Amino acid sequence: MAMVRVRDTAPELALRRELHRRGLRYRVDAAIPGLPRRRVDILFTKQRIVVFIDGCFWHGCSRHRSIPENNREWWAEKIAATRTRDHTTDHTLKEMGYQTLRFWEHEDVNTAADIVEATIRRALD
Ligand SMILES: [Zn+2]
């Protein structure tokens, strides 16, 4: 398993489809100026809202944390590094005036869409 960004995962596509169905428009896999070497899963440019759908394995979801037995320490370090990077990314985005919403891939798509939609509507007020 390579440490590359997996594009267009099923949970990500499901959320995008649901948001689109609700009439929301966004950019996907977007680069943000000032945020080097990072791409965001879903970007609402005007509202400055960013959405990430985090994979349970790579991002270390507490419910589905299952570190492989082989090379356990190496995996644990990889996952910890990803989490640290997530925090740094969130912090940087906040400093840049973006609001970040993160969801686990295991989360219900409608619940996630509700939260995104409410956040967008609030931002538009
Ligand atoms: Zn999970």
Cα of 75 vs centre of ligand 1, distance in Å, is: 17
Residue 74 pLDDT exceeds 90: yes
Six token digits for residue 52: 């990430």
Distance (angstroms) between ligand 1 centre and the Cα of 54 equals: 9
What distance in angstroms lies between residue 96's CA and the mean position of ligand 1's atoms? 29
- Region label for 50, one of left (φ > 0), alpha (ψ between -120 and 50) or beta (otherwise): beta
**CA 57 / ligand 1 centre spacing (Å):** 7
pLDDT at 1: 44
| The pLDDT value given to residue 91 | 96
Distance (Å) from CA 50 to ligand 1 centroid: 20
**b/e for 61-91, b at 16 or more Cβ within 10 A?**
beeeeeeeeeeeeebeebbeebeeebeebbe
Q: Please, which pLDDT band fits residue 69 given cuts at 50, 70 and 90?
A: confident
Categorize the per-residue pLDDT at 4 as very low, low, confident or very high, splitting at 50, 70 and 90: low
- CA 46 to ligand 1 center in whole angstroms: 30
Asked whether residue 40 carries a pLDDT value surpassing 90, the answer given is yes
Confidence of residue 67 (pLDDT cuts 50, 70, 90): confident
pLDDT over threshold 50, residue 2: no
103 C-alpha to center of ligand 1: Å? 9
